[in-house]
Structure 1
Amino acid sequence: MGKSERRREPPPVPEALPAPAVDAHTHLDACGARTPEDVRALVDRAERAGIERVVTVADDIAAARWATEAASWDDRVFAAVALHPTRAGDLGEAQRSELAELVTRPRVVAVGETGLDYYWDYATPQDQQEAFRWHIDLAKRTGMPLMIHDRDAHQDILDVLRSEGAPETVVFHCFSGDEVFAKTCADAGYVLSFAGTATFRNAAGVREAARIVPVEQMLVETDAPFLTPHPFRGQPNEPYCANYTLRALAELRGADPAELAAATTATAERTFRFDRV
């Protein structure tokens, strides 16, 4: 099989983890799911790898509607709803009203993903910060965790959180900072979620952050279909690939995979309060 053919092939479903784990951030719709049968197939594969629950995350209004519906199709699926920072310019009154309603739906466990993204220029920093502030308020009004997208915007993210007052629970999805930023976030009580980037050889800062963050403030995610972990980088990603990332994180931290799976699952349960929905 040639290199281009391999890139189209998904990684093999690995042997199940020695303890159940959670994919704290995925996009089942972007993985190709449309129907209840599609969702079931994705989470069946994840469960075979020991990933027994997933949080499917919205990035626009259509995705938010779909995520809340998909979470009702399978009891292993939960949802998070928000408008992605690259779509912040679309956050009008109608969108605010609908998101405020969607976040109250059964099996919605977070406001996300929201935040700041200065890598792309689809929305101005001003529009992004205004939308971020609105989502922070929504999380505080509803008692929901806030799931943050942070790309090239570390300091502004912290500044907005400080000026607005952070919700009780804040999750930095796909943590992209270094050890210093990780310590700042951990000291503030925030939760850091690590994706396949923590397995990349050229991501030394993220890897060091993953090594030192307290395990009680650590989550594992895929951000599927993006960021497939090493050695499958560039191939299609799915929730089952959280298995590979968790094993790599355990090796990085010198931890037993079963203990890390149990610890990050406990963090997910405290963060998202699955038992309340």
Structure 2
Amino acid sequence: MVDAVDATMSDSEIHPSAIIASGAKIGRGVTIGPWCSVGPDVIIEDGVKLIANVVVDGHTTLGKDSVYYPFSTIGLAPQDLKYKGEPTRCIIGSRTVVREQVTIHRGTESGDGITTVGSDCLLMVNSHIAHDCHLGNRVIIVNNVVLGGHVHIDDDARVMGSAAIHQFVRIGKAALVGGVTGVESDVIPYGSVLGNRARLVGMHWIWLKRNGVQNEELHVLRHVYRTLFPREENQTCVFEERLQAVKDKFGHSDRVQEIIDFIEQPSRRGLVKVGRSISSSEKEG
């Protein structure tokens, strides 16, 4: 890692039109294309590519071999009126790909002070990652998705196009959020939600099957889901009793325990409710 002024000594390719502030740290084999801007507190690790017209500012670290497409902005000030210029941070993991017009804001002092995106993520065109959000590894965010502040998304989750996630929502491991879905509450690990206001409609069976989960475990997860989230007409006991029944019968399963742990963690938003979401047009009809 060298200062920006010595970047040519690190086998990096920096276009003459790029503006690299003094103090920025540039790794080996970095490519910084035309009209990029890199602030003085930025750290760019080995093999990073800024294709063109990328702005990186603040106390921001771009992980090894990550790629940033034109007009993406990373580490700029948060859209939070309480923010007064504190030296908060933004960290992007290795091999993550950030497509055109994505915005990722740094954290706030009143939050965690840091925004993080894990490794091997894909953030598609025009998505927004707000201040103090935390994304795990291998997360996919599709076009036009907006995350409010303080959203937590665990490993392998998928958020489909034009979904909107309310601030402080948690999305569990390998969960699926359908397109054009408004998520106001937490989504359990491996859960699948859909609708104008999100409703839990099942488990993310496709991900589970593609990742080698065997039929016996799928059967267990199906039983757990039906126990925890029966349709209203089938509810014979309160949620706490249903959760205890799942603990007693299936707590030995690692994936079931992940769901239990997620449910038992403190939450500001509660859990997404079960059931088919009804759109406004359906209600009017």
- Give the TM interval when normalised to the shorter protein: under 0.3
Q: Pick the structure with more strand per residue.
A: 2
Point out which structure has higher relative CO (alpha carbons under 8 A, 6+ apart). Answer: 1
Larger Rg: 2
TM-score scaled by length of structure 2? 0.23
Q: Pick the structure with more helix per residue.
A: 1
TM-score scaled by length of structure 1? 0.24
